[in-house]
Structure 1
Amino acid sequence: MKQPAKILIVDDDQDILVAGKLLLKRHYSQVDICNRPEQLPTLLADCEFDLILLDMNFGPGESSGEQGFYWLSQILKLRPDSIVILITAHGGIDIAVEAIKQGATDFIAKPWHNEKVLATISTALELHKSRQETKSLRAANQALVQASTASAQHIIGNSSAMQQVHELVNRAAPTDANVLILGENGTGKELIAKELHLKSARAQQVFLSVDLGAITETLFESELFGHKKGAFTGAQQDRVGKIKAADGGTLFLDEIGNLPLHLQAKLLTVLAQRKVTPVGANQEEAFDVRIIAATNVDKHALLDEEKFRQDLLFRLNTVEITLPPLRERKEDIAAIAQHYVDIYGKKYQKSPLTLADNAVEALTHYHWPGNVRALRHAVERAVIMTDNQALSADDFQLKNTDVSVSAPASSSQVQPTITAPENDSGELNLEIIEKQTISRALKQHKYNISHAAKALGLTRAALYRRMEKHGL
């Protein structure tokens, strides 16, 4: 069966052209010949050859090889990635070495042996294939980097609390220091991680995010370190782990506080040695990755040696950034809300929308247990449901607005309400029971979303939706 390859033979000896074409067309899909090197620019413009066999000398009495070197340089100017094998009847080690130096892939001497020619061409085509695959992977990776950069969101807010965060980001970003980001769910920890990446020297490399809270213990090593084919049941092919996949770039380890102690030890070893061994492999692989970690676990809990290894904490928090909850930067709420109003207004093809004064008042004094994530979903729901140009407080249906609002009630202000206490005795209303159950799970797991979702048999996304539904 012929291999799919386009080969060009350039020689002034017609016998060589005929013999070469007869030999190669039995093995490759396309073999073209050319007896005048002056035709090369036109041929290369019309076709992208996988391999070119180029004679070193053209014309009677020529033996210096200068013509071959000249046309080699012209080919590489027109097609820098070309695979060129030089042919000459006046072979010598010096000419061969010089040919390789000037960009040739290999060298064949006349008279040739068919087996030698076929082996040389086969090896050169494998090199060409490898180069093309590498080029495609680089292009794909660059496209992914550009796409993620173009779609990256930025933290909105000029409150004093956020100004301190921005200052830390600007100081830490240009360095390769590991960063630990602390903050409640929905405060924007991943956005800060991306901001650190985009302002670093690794900005043109990959940014990879891993939710450690969503990885089972049995798959932890495979996901992060990779595995070899046959390493365990179901490992049908080699897999690159997240750490090696992020090589040269930034790896964001979200929910690091949920990692069990025995897995913390494995992660610490890899980060300390800067080498990773895929499951089922014997050879270590070095990596160059900047680590940014995040957790919603309270700092005091992280300092508990029975819950978190202090040597791992020491390695992760070279720089520590704490994101304030939304209720502690209320002056940013109106700007964030309007930002999402604009986004979802365009997404759902609404006329330009604004926030009414009573909506701003209600949003500002709401407790926001889900922080910016909850605000974003509340805005999206309001944009979908409204028929007005200005979103009012009623469009947001906030149930537990902070009763500390001191402004007097009026027709333009939302009336704060206090939710009724939970009542488990004989309650049959499914909505109330669902709210009570979710509230109990959250409290029991200290508002760790991953653990609470697992206890409830829900995904994290499903739990977030129900929390917003019930104003939790």
Structure 2
Amino acid sequence: MAVQLLKKASVLVVDDDTDVLTSMAMLLRPEVRVVQTEKNPERLPALLRQETFDLVLLDMNYHRSVNTSNEGLYWLQQLRTLAPASAVVLITAYADINLAIRGLKDGAADFVVKPWRNDKLLASLDEALTRRQLTNKSHRQLPKPAVSPLLGESTTMQTLRRTIEKIAPTDANVLILGENGTGKDVVARLIHAQSMRASQPFVGVDLGALSEPLLESELFGYVKGAFTDARQDRAGRFEAAAGGTLFLDEIGNLSLPGQTKLLTALQQRQITRLGSHTPIPVDVRVVSATNAPIQHLVQTDRFRKDLVYRLNTIELTLPPLRERGDDVRLLAAHFLEQYATKYGKPTPRLEGRALARLLNYRFPGNVRELQHTMERAVVMSESEVLTAEDLVFSSVETTLTAGPETTRLAELEKGTIQKVVDKHHGNITKAAKELGITRMALYRRLGKYDL
């Protein structure tokens, strides 16, 4: 079997069965360049905006689905849009072979039946990658498929799109600022898609999800024997993004030691794998994002000024949804159509009071909260007309409430925040957790009280 393509491939396995994910990961790790697993298919859009995969292994059935028989086909359809260059191999049971055949007609490269034979599975993956390579070569001169659009007709969004068109073809590093849920990952992906690096990898990493011990190995990779579980060499995100774009999300959460290591890599344009002394040249464009007030972090010595200069050759600030006016109506219609298609329902319309409620709500969770609100409304509604009562807004965006506007209460709140931040030595994540609020809510109060 020709294994060169498989050895160089990045593979994503999507299945809600933990045992299947574990088995697949153990089988594929020695055979491919990168293997990543995902239990919840709902995370696919965000994941595919952050990273590209040569091949996706997709289960056909999910226990949590509303419409089980169609769930695998729905996600196959989404993959054809979100990752058109990826080969998709379906995972199915004997009872669902007819469904899998329908999946082949809808664009899947192949399917494997549970329980699978390891040799046959690897052969199927290699064949799927070979066909993908031939297909991509034959379509090389065709226009690139569109990535997720940056929807909105407000003045700020039109200006933002024009700015992206100007900066995307350059190699300038970009820092994207904005509240949670404003679409920073969408903008990062759009910059890559319109750049000269569009045919190369787009690799994302959520720095907020990485602990200090994992940071260096995830970004720079490691060699066999670097630590107890390092059984083989592994490339980091910098190497995986070679020639393309590296998206560093939640950059504001990076520790000072991590900032130093990142700055060194950017200045020298090379990395060194953990456990090695051999530098490896890297050619990546860095797009980073944060919801933190980066200038405040610099002023309080929690973020290196020289690293900010490296990251923000171009700085983009995304507007919160509450400042985008009638874009709420446009986005709501888009999400209603999207989720009606997903769940096999007629696309509902918003009655007047429901639309008014949307337009008057401040959406602290921004576009992401609107998206979840529309999905819930589609799932729960039994009518083709959504009323104001059908719209249930998220309670996730918890904030401290100051109560009556008195100096005494403000001082108490300021003093409490100062004590908790000092207790955790400036660690915003830990301080916010103890206070019972989000990091963004805490940053707002730090700015409010000039702490």
Determine the C-alpha separation between the residues in 1 that align with 2:437 and 2:400.
25
1:165 Cα shift?
Answer: 1.2
Determine the C-alpha separation between the residues in 2 that align with 1:369 and 1:140.
46
- What SS does the aligned partner of 1:154 have? coil
1:459 Cα shift?
Answer: 12
Q: How does 1:171-190 map to 2 (within 5 A)?
A: 171-190=166-185
1:287 Cα shift?
Answer: 1.0
Contact 1:141 1:206 in 2 (8 A): no
1:302 Cα shift?
Answer: 3.7
Tell whether 2:153 aligns with 1:195: no
Match in the other structure for 1:221: 216
Deviates more, 1:449-458 or 1:232-241: 449-458
- Number of aligned residue pairs: give it: 289
1:282 Cα shift?
Answer: 1.6
- What SS does the aligned partner of 2:287 have? strand
Paired residue type of 1:289: V
Q: How does 1:78-97 map to 2 (within 5 A)?
A: none
Contact 2:177 2:290 in 1 (8 A): yes
Counterparts in 2 of 1:151 and 1:271: CA distance versus 1, 3 Å = same
Counterparts in 2 of 1:420 and 1:281: CA distance versus 1, 3 Å = closer
Equivalent residue for 1:386, pick from 371, 381, 394: 381
Contact 1:330 1:365 in 2 (8 A): no
Tell whether 2:314 aligns with 1:332: no
Paired residue type of 2:385: A
Match in the other structure for 1:164: 159
Contact 2:369 2:393 in 1 (8 A): no
Determine the C-alpha separation between the residues in 2 that align with 1:141 and 1:249.
21
Match in the other structure for 1:235: 230
Contact 1:180 1:318 in 2 (8 A): yes
Determine the C-alpha separation between the residues in 2 that align with 1:265 and 1:388.
56
Match in the other structure for 1:280: 275
Match in the other structure for 1:321: 316
1:224 Cα shift?
Answer: 0.3
Determine the C-alpha separation between the residues in 1 that align with 2:364 and 2:428.
12
Counterparts in 2 of 1:272 and 1:137: CA distance versus 1, 3 Å = farther
Determine the C-alpha separation between the residues in 2 that align with 1:219 and 1:181.
24
Q: Which string of whole-angstrom CA distances, capped at 9 and with x for unpartnered residues, describes residues 371-410 of structure 1? A: 000110011001101111121211003499xxxxxxxxxx
Tell whether 2:242 aligns with 1:247: yes
Contact 1:208 1:251 in 2 (8 A): yes
Q: How does 1:97-136 map to 2 (within 5 A)?
A: none
Determine the C-alpha separation between the residues in 1 that align with 2:271 and 2:291.
27
- For the pair shown, which has the larger CA radius of gyration, 1 or 2? 1
Counterparts in 2 of 1:246 and 1:398: CA distance versus 1, 3 Å = closer
Paired residue type of 1:278: R
Equivalent residue for 2:306, pick from 304, 308, 311: 311
Match in the other structure for 1:371: 366
Give the structure-1-normalised TM-score: 0.55
Match in the other structure for 2:352: 357
- What SS does the aligned partner of 2:200 have? coil
Match in the other structure for 1:260: 255
Tell whether 2:133 aligns with 1:139: yes
Match in the other structure for 2:293: 298
* Ranges of 4+ aligned residues in structure 1 off by more than 2 Å: 135-143, 149-152, 397-400, 419-423, 448-460
Counterparts in 2 of 1:275 and 1:219: CA distance versus 1, 3 Å = same
Paired residue type of 1:326: L
Determine the C-alpha separation between the residues in 2 that align with 1:163 and 1:393.
30
Determine the C-alpha separation between the residues in 1 that align with 2:135 and 2:171.
21
1:142 Cα shift?
Answer: 6.4
Match in the other structure for 2:90: none
Counterparts in 2 of 1:357 and 1:255: CA distance versus 1, 3 Å = same
- What SS does the aligned partner of 2:231 have? coil
Paired residue type of 1:314: Y
Contact 1:208 1:242 in 2 (8 A): yes
Contact 1:197 1:250 in 2 (8 A): yes
Determine the C-alpha separation between the residues in 1 that align with 2:283 and 2:135.
17
Determine the C-alpha separation between the residues in 2 that align with 1:141 and 1:213.
37
1:138 Cα shift?
Answer: 8.9
Paired residue type of 1:139: Q
Contact 1:226 1:279 in 2 (8 A): yes
Q: Which string of whole-angstrom CA distances, capped at 9 and with x for unpartnered residues, describes residues 343-385 of structure 1? A: 0001111112222222211111101110000110011001101
Q: Which string of whole-angstrom CA distances, capped at 9 and with x for unpartnered residues, describes residues 313-338 of structure 1? A: 00100000000100111220000011
Contact 2:252 2:294 in 1 (8 A): no
Determine the C-alpha separation between the residues in 2 that align with 1:201 and 1:154.
19
Paired residue type of 1:345: A
Q: 5+ residue gaps in structure 1? A: 5-131, 401-418, 424-439, 461-472
Determine the C-alpha separation between the residues in 2 that align with 1:377 and 1:342.
13
Determine the C-alpha separation between the residues in 2 that align with 1:332 and 1:375.
11
Paired residue type of 2:133: A
Contact 1:337 1:375 in 2 (8 A): yes
Match in the other structure for 1:24: none
Contact 2:204 2:247 in 1 (8 A): yes
Contact 1:153 1:191 in 2 (8 A): yes
1:257 Cα shift?
Answer: 0.5
- What SS does the aligned partner of 1:279 have? coil
Q: Which string of whole-angstrom CA distances, capped at 9 and with x for unpartnered residues, describes residues 149-186 of structure 1? A: 85832111010111221121111101010000000000
Determine the C-alpha separation between the residues in 2 that align with 1:137 and 1:243.
28
- What SS does the aligned partner of 1:227 have? coil
Counterparts in 2 of 1:454 and 1:335: CA distance versus 1, 3 Å = same
Counterparts in 2 of 1:306 and 1:154: CA distance versus 1, 3 Å = same
Paired residue type of 1:219: L
- What SS does the aligned partner of 2:225 have? coil
Determine the C-alpha separation between the residues in 2 that align with 1:234 and 1:285.
23
Q: 5+ residue gaps in structure 2? A: 3-125, 404-415, 422-426, 440-451
Contact 2:197 2:245 in 1 (8 A): yes
Determine the C-alpha separation between the residues in 2 that align with 1:264 and 1:204.
29
Contact 2:202 2:247 in 1 (8 A): yes
Contact 1:181 1:321 in 2 (8 A): yes
Determine the C-alpha separation between the residues in 1 that align with 2:205 and 2:238.
10
